[in-house]
Structure 1
Amino acid sequence: MNKQLRVLFIGTYIPKECGIATFTSDLLNSVSGENNDVHCEVIALSDPSETYNYPEEVVFQIQRDKLEDYYLAADFINQSDADLVCLQHEFGLFGGNAGDYIFALLSGINKPVITTMHTMIREPEPEYRTSTEQLIKYSEKLVVMSQAAVEMLKDVYKAPENKIEIIFHGVPDYPFNNCSKYKKMLNLKGSPLVLTFGLLSQNKGIESVLEALPEVISQYPDLVYLVLGATHPMVKKTQGEVYRHYLEDKVSELGLENNVVFHDKFVEKEELCNYILASDIYVSPYLSREQIVSGALTYAMGMGKAIVSTPYWYAQEMLSDNRGLLVDFGDTDGFKNSLLYLIENPDECNGMRKKAYDFGRKMTWKNVGKEYNTVFIKALKNYNTYPGIHNRFNFLPNQLPEVKLDHLELLTDDVGIIQHTDLGVPARRYGYSTDDVGRALVALTQLIDSPKKAEEFRKSITTYMSFLEHAQTDTGHFHNFMNYKREFLDKKGSEDTLGRAIYGLGHVVSCSYLSKNIRTLANTLLSKSRQEMENLGSPRAKAYAICGLYEMLTTGVDTDEFESVFNSRRDFVKSIDTLVDRDKFESIFISHADSLVDLYEANHKEDWNWFEPTVTYSNAKLSESLLLAYNYTKNRTYREIGLATLDFLTEIQLNGDFFDTVGNQGWYSYNGEKPLFDQQPIEAGYLTQAYVSAYENVRDRKYIQLAKYSFEYFLGRNRLRTAMYDYSTGAVCDGLSSDGMNCNQGAEPVICFLMALNSLKEHTNEAFGTILQSRVSDGISDEALEKQKNLLSVQVE
């Protein structure tokens, strides 16, 4: 390697009291090497109730059951200078079903992963099989600690053989010696001293040893059985000290009070090693056969102890060739006979100890560290790095989806649009909203490019217009919510509701393929709402109004056309005063644009180019409205602020290669932390529209590329890498939450998807042609191409 290798470990870590925490620490120290030729850092897992003073190598923490932390950790890893990740895996370390929260992290990173598997199940339940298969998929290399684990990975889980590496559990390197020195050091008695150590839980099987002791002690009354270790924290949390009390009662029942000692404490590594070195015999009475590795057994072997163990998988392999004695699970007589054999045959016992010690030399941490480094380098050489953004999302289509209106039509009845669904089935209890109807008019009118299309959508547009006409109040505002009994539930909707209605009505007025009657009605409703429109205070309501008025003002409305309709419908309108008054609407249009400029000037800072102190919802619509205001007025201030705020939204939401839109769990305030969830698809839809407007404004190709990326949010270019859009029905899921995809498919997401699709389809060639191809045809220089890459903050091909 020409540079220092940088490794990021993921696992529990000291000072947490658990075996994997100790293992991770030992492995890190062994990998870093005597000359510090490998730089190591740690992402530590903890429980919410735990607070640790971690050493400086811990650079990030994950709360076990907090899914958001796994996503944030993935972001941290991608932005770090780590070359690779070394994951310590045991199902119980991670939250979720069978520890599946870890895949939120693994699926989102662009570094090779080397996984050390501390647990494996030969006959797994479905969720554990799935979790293991996912782990194999995301790992460049799988490190196991026994040949039995290798065979199980291949036979049970069909793991590719070239992914599997066997590296033994590490042990400290101590000389082969007798026990008396360490007994004196620790003031321990026992001739012999029999030891079992590790965090206490019911699977330890210690009662089997206790029941074997009376006959052994009757012959060797100086024998002491030391049970060393605190109760496992998770066991203590859920069951308390039930097992320890059971063992203590068993000792009293068997009259072993003078021969059995419990040391209820977690000992650090150096002290633990002294206890092991002080013992004569190590006993490993585990009750579960499916134990693929045991650090305690490994330490006992590496320090040359005489060992008696049950035949779990790891013990069978490690103690073969007469390196220890095996006793069947729960076999009291077997433990008794094995202990007596070792005590009464010192030469055979010492020979067994020497074989275990000699085998342990290949397991010293120094050798283990070298082997891991070899695997790291091998993984880096073989790793298929992601040279471009497209490779991480290679499931995305190379063209836009066809327009599919099935789901919108399913939600539309003879009244309006049902707001929400239960798993795609319209949920009538939620009723209707003006918000959805106004934006649906935008989506449909954008699709009308011929009289045939106008006729195709005539029924739906007529229904929507009928809803808005009924929803408009005497003052010109609009009710928003109507229940399924056709009763409005509010005196009037929010200002945003008024803005969204104007947004839709403006598009109807501007659609020349629609009938004169429909367009005249739209104009009438707009005119009636003019006074309410003038008094808007909400920035988003103003933005919606600007977008709707822009359509009306740039259409070149024929007032004679409307007048002829009005004259024939005196029963419908009271006077000719409701005709389009371009000057008054233009005044409102400019006034609202100016107020957004004032809002920006009052709130933006050097590192905060936004209209408000908080980024909330429907954000890109604010930027888009100023870009449209520039189109109409040619006021450069509008364009300057529109682009600056849109670029700011890109900066805070484009997460390397996908859009991480601001979630509504608290929004994103200046100097605050951006929430990841709940993300709403409306934000991606509005971003797409705004980027298309920016591209049409300044013809900078980066905006059409960004429009493509934001639109692909619906198709899977998102944090969960999951498609929200259903190609078969045209439905769109409601959002991304910390629990995954919200699979309800309401009106808002499908309407915003259609608006985004409509705006982008006019620029299909620009969006789906690569920047490199465009450079050739347009003569863009290498320097300019590199600048575009930087602006996108991603590597594009």
Structure 2
Amino acid sequence: MSVSLRLVPSPPRVDAPAPDWSHVARLSDDTGLLEHARNATVRREHGYCVDDVARGLVVASREPQPTARVIGLAERYLAFLTHATAPDGGVRNRLTYDRRWLDEPGTGDWWGRAVWGFGTAAARSTVPWIRREAREAFAVAVRRRSPWPRAMAFAGLGAAEVLRADPRAGDAAQLLGDAATVIGLPGRDPGWVWPERELTYANPALPEVLIQAGDLLGDEPLLADGLRMLGWLCRMQDHDGHLSTVPVGGWRPGVERHRFDQQPIEAAATADACATAAAVTGDDSWEGPLVGAIAWFLGDNDGGTVMYDPQTGGGYDGLTPDGPNLNQGAESTLALVSTLQHARTLAGRGATRP
């Protein structure tokens, strides 16, 4: 299905570096992926969280030709997530550096991201035993549901991965449909089509799930709704021709939009959603906001500053009014690597076009 929408004008192609796993490896040990860093130095006192380990498994599983280092990271991340998952499908989130869980299993955002990680590894890993183990873990975790739209959106993205790889996967189809229901549909007011009264965090994941559900479940109106939501969000996030992501604190109708602090994970989520829209519809106009998300890391942003350290391979933790937050934690670094994966794919596609 090809759906044309009035999107932000396409920025020029950008020369982006290749994905660099050096800092992800620096933040990782034989347990998992440590959450925080001061500059590029890991802060062990803050321990690990499933949120970031799951992100790590998603991004590692997306590598089409992973190195031995990346495969080793994926193995550790998968083991961490299976250890965090209870028999009933609930998932713990926080583990101290001395390996003590700080919470009970639940279905918050971290559960959704664990499902996303399991689903992506099950569908995309190049290693057969990782695919099998991840599929078994996915089947356990999807026994649960969350009342929270973003948790369900993350889980829905994992379900879409499984269903695209195996159209007979009934557990994935059911979860994807449930995720779309919890997210809701866009409104009729063209000034604010979002199904919520504010834009908060991980916003692009919501329309991405509707797009995936509409495509994989054969629901064209739902697909159109997802595309309409994403197109509106892309226009909302355009500022003088570059990407300006929804910052910490969010945006609300009728309230002046503030621009800082912007988080790299929002640019990465925009890239993911636009890449999905382009793949599902075949409409190259979605590459415009995708390239804008890549360019955000390279300095085409509200601060006019590069958002990563080329010496370490780490992504900076946020864009503030005074420039980048130079700490290079797991979330931001994985957001960088994920977005550069899209840049590599685009570059390869461009090289084959007449």
TM-score of the superposed pair, with normalisation by structure 2? 0.90
Instruction: State the AA in 2 paired with 1:544.
Output: F
RMSD: 2.3
Whether 2:129 is the aligned partner of 1:542: answer no
Deviation at 1:406, TM superposition (A): 0.3
Take 1:611 and 1:389, find their aligned partners in 2: how far apart are those partners? 28
- Inter-CA distance 747–475: structure 2 relative to 1 (3 Å threshold): same
Instruction: State the AA in 1 paired with 2:158.
Output: G
Decide which of 180, 185, 189 is 1:600's aligned counterpart.
Answer: 185
Give the match for residue 591 of structure 1.
Answer: 178
- Structure 1: state its 5+ residue gaps: 1-387, 391-396, 558-580, 778-797
| Structure number with bigger Rg | 1
Take 2:335 and 2:281, find their aligned partners in 1: how far apart are those partners? 24
Instruction: State the AA in 2 paired with 1:402.
Output: A
Take 2:39 and 2:68, find their aligned partners in 1: how far apart are those partners? 31
Decide which of 684, 687, 703 is 2:270's aligned counterpart.
Answer: 687
Instruction: State the AA in 2 paired with 1:527.
Output: A
Give the match for residue 524 of structure 1.
Answer: 136
Take 2:210 and 2:60, find their aligned partners in 1: how far apart are those partners? 23
Give the match for residue 220 of structure 2.
Answer: 636
Give the match for residue 289 of structure 2.
Answer: 706
Give the match for residue 4 of structure 2.
Answer: none
Whether 2:104 is the aligned partner of 1:491: answer yes
Deviation at 1:398, TM superposition (A): 4.2
Structure 1, residues 578-615: CA drift from partner, whole Å, max 9, x if none?
xxx8223322222222333xx225x5523111121110
Give the match for residue 25 of structure 2.
Answer: 409
Give the match for residue 238 of structure 2.
Answer: 654
CA contact (8 A) 1:430 1:483 kept: yes
Structure 1, residues 370-410: CA drift from partner, whole Å, max 9, x if none?
xxxxxxxxxxxxxxxxxx976xxxxxx94221121100000
- Inter-CA distance 389–473: structure 2 relative to 1 (3 Å threshold): closer
- Inter-CA distance 454–742: structure 2 relative to 1 (3 Å threshold): closer
Whether 2:333 is the aligned partner of 1:750: answer yes
- Structure 2 counterpart SS, 1:484: coil
Give the match for residue 464 of structure 1.
Answer: 77
Deviation at 1:726, TM superposition (A): 1.9
**Percentage identity across paired residues of the two chains:** 29
CA contact (8 A) 1:604 1:610 kept: no
- Structure 1 counterpart SS, 2:313: coil
Deviation at 1:493, TM superposition (A): 5.0
- Structure 2 counterpart SS, 1:741: strand
Deviation at 1:657, TM superposition (A): 1.9
Take 1:401 and 1:697, find their aligned partners in 2: how far apart are those partners? 26
1:325-344 equivalences under 5 Å are none
Take 1:389 and 1:480, find their aligned partners in 2: how far apart are those partners? 39
Instruction: State the AA in 1 paired with 2:98.
Output: K
Give the match for residue 6 of structure 2.
Answer: none
Instruction: State the AA in 2 paired with 1:458.
Output: I
TM-score of the superposed pair, with normalisation by structure 1? 0.41
Deviation at 1:751, TM superposition (A): 0.9
Give the match for residue 125 of structure 1.
Answer: none
1:374-389 equivalences under 5 Å are none
- Inter-CA distance 717–512: structure 2 relative to 1 (3 Å threshold): closer
Give the match for residue 439 of structure 1.
Answer: 55
Higher strand share: 1
Deviation at 1:689, TM superposition (A): 1.2
Structure 1, residues 56-78: CA drift from partner, whole Å, max 9, x if none?
xxxxxxxxxxxxxxxxxxxxxxx
CA contact (8 A) 2:160 2:172 kept: no
Decide which of 478, 493, 510 is 2:91's aligned counterpart.
Answer: 478
Q: Which has the higher contact order (CA 8 A, sep 6+)?
A: 2
Take 1:705 and 1:502, find their aligned partners in 2: how far apart are those partners? 29
Structure 1, residues 254-280: CA drift from partner, whole Å, max 9, x if none?
xxxxxxxxxxxxxxxxxxxxxxxxxxx
- Inter-CA distance 490–768: structure 2 relative to 1 (3 Å threshold): farther
Give the match for residue 430 of structure 1.
Answer: 46
Take 1:662 and 1:511, find their aligned partners in 2: how far apart are those partners? 30
- Structure 1 counterpart SS, 2:185: helix
Give the match for residue 552 of structure 1.
Answer: 162
Structure 1, residues 193-222: CA drift from partner, whole Å, max 9, x if none?
xxxxxxxxxxxxxxxxxxxxxxxxxxxxxx
Instruction: State the AA in 1 paired with 2:126.
Output: Y
Instruction: State the AA in 2 paired with 1:460.
Output: L
Deviation at 1:745, TM superposition (A): 0.5
1:220-619 equivalences under 5 Å are 398-449=14-65, 453=66, 455-493=68-106, 495-511=108-124, 513-516=126-129, 518-532=130-144, 535-556=145-166, 582-596=169-183, 599-601=184-186, 603=187, 605-619=189-203
Whether 2:306 is the aligned partner of 1:696: answer no
Whether 2:333 is the aligned partner of 1:720: answer no
- Structure 2 counterpart SS, 1:736: strand
Instruction: State the AA in 2 paired with 1:752.
Output: A
Take 1:541 and 1:522, find their aligned partners in 2: how far apart are those partners? 19
Structure 1, residues 636-692: CA drift from partner, whole Å, max 9, x if none?
12221111111111121111221111111x311122222211110111111111111
Take 1:612 and 1:740, find their aligned partners in 2: how far apart are those partners? 30
Give the match for residue 178 of structure 1.
Answer: none
- Inter-CA distance 586–398: structure 2 relative to 1 (3 Å threshold): closer
